[in-house]
Amino acid sequence: MHILIVDDEMIIRNGLKNMMLSYSRPFASIRVAENGEQALGLIADYPPHIIITDIRMPKMDGLEFCRRIHESYKYIKVVVISGFAEFEYAQQCMAYGVKEYMLKPVIKLDIHEMLNRILPAMEKGVITPTQLEKWLDEMTEHIWQLRLQDLDQCLDEWLRYCEERTVHPFQLRELLVDSFQAVLDRLKVKGHTYTGLAADIEEKSVGEIHERFRHMVRSVADELTLRRGGFKDVMAEVRAYMEQNIAREVTLEEVANLVGLTPNYFSLYFKKTTGVTFIHYRMTKRIEAAEQLLAQPHYRIVDVAHETGYEDYSHFAKTFRKVKGITPTEFRSRLGIK
């Protein structure tokens, strides 16, 4: 559990910190800031679980500070400290999710009672071992059987379940990383050793954490798909599709969807197999098709550009020279075509 104390008076900051240190259980960190602006910098670097803030501070008052926290970090528990004359002002923080107020002067007993009230509620989310095993077994089996639609549904339910039982993104990240590693361990027992993305999540927002976890799990399924089906077969389908659609700019996302892989994973393995990026491969194939058409005298160069997906002639000429080292006109001249 990480704590941040915000107060412009050093004596009060240190006093509150000492009161926190004397609590019956230890905290992972207790940081201090002398105003709201400084506190926001510390939060951006490492969001705490609980913030204890004064209502009257220079540079940014407690009300504005609470508003900023509510907008970007709704999961942080905020405790406001105020004098009796400021209490009505402090109550305005209710609009920003603040439910804990403490009147000055604050003593150690006040701090400990406040912690006794809020900590149990923050830690009440429990995932039972039975439920955890159930989800992990289901995800593993969906991956092993390559039931991707069922896997996506299972991921939706698991992410929702985990989010409901964690009060802080750090907890969610740790839970999902552990879940991912547990799935990999189960697949290894079945005979599949994953060689792709590391079991790591650095994203901070809940939405980004969800997306990263989905990508990690789908990458495992993608690798298993390629190992079983053979990447050569996948590439044959990709090459055929791109040749059939040479007159337009086929996207990586489009082709990845065609072969049932995530774009990032498809891009990684495409380069690993061909030695070039998808974009470079697409460009080269279009220029190769252009060469064949340029070798036919009845085709105008501008028509060749159009046939290979280049609406702008200057772009076509520039790309052709980049790949072949000469212009389309020079290419024809070497073939004796005027």
With 0.85 as the threshold, say if the pTM is over it. no
Identify the CATH number of the domain in which residue 315 sits: 1.10.10.60
Tell whether the model's pLDDT for residue 22 goes beyond 90. Answer: yes
pLDDT of residue 128: 66
Burial of 241 (0-12, 13-18, 19+ CB in 10 A): middle
Instruction: Indicate if 76 and 155 belong to the same structural domain.
Output: no
Round the average pLDDT of the chain to a whole number and report it. Answer: 84
* Structure confidence by residue, pLDDT tens digits, 261-303: 778 777 877 887 788 999 899 899 899 999 989 999 888 998 9
Examine the fold and report which residue of 169, 202, 229 is the final residue of a domain before the chain moves on.
Answer: 229
Identify the CATH number of the domain in which residue 6 sits: 3.40.50.2300
**Segment 233-258 mean pLDDT:** 84
Instruction: Indicate if 251 and 264 belong to the same structural domain.
Output: yes
pLDDT of residue 131: 76
Examine the fold and report which residue of 229, 260, 283 is the final residue of a domain before the chain moves on.
Answer: 229
Instruction: Indicate if 13 and 84 belong to the same structural domain.
Output: yes
Examine the fold and report which residue of 102, 122, 142 is the final residue of a domain before the chain moves on.
Answer: 122
Instruction: Indicate if 219 and 258 belong to the same structural domain.
Output: no
Give how far Cα 40 sits from Cα of 4, 13, 67, 172, Å: 10, 16, 12, 22
Number of structural domains the chain divides into:
3
pLDDT of residue 230: 53
pLDDT of residue 213: 92
Point out the least confidently predicted range of 86-90, 95-99, 280-284, 309-313.
86-90
Task: State the residue range of the domain holding 89.
Answer: 2-122
Query: CA angle, 16 as apex, 15 and 21 as ends, to 5°?
Result: 95
Instruction: Indicate if 118 and 6 belong to the same structural domain.
Output: yes
Let me know: does 83 contact 58? Beta carbons within 8 Å: no
* Structure confidence by residue, pLDDT tens digits, 33-92: 999 899 999 988 888 889 999 888 888 888 888 888 888 777 788 998 887 666 666 667
Tell whether the model's pLDDT for residue 232 goes beyond 60. Answer: no
* Structure confidence by residue, pLDDT tens digits, 162-206: 887 776 787 788 888 888 988 998 888 888 888 876 778 888 788
Let me know: does 206 contact 163? Beta carbons within 8 Å: yes
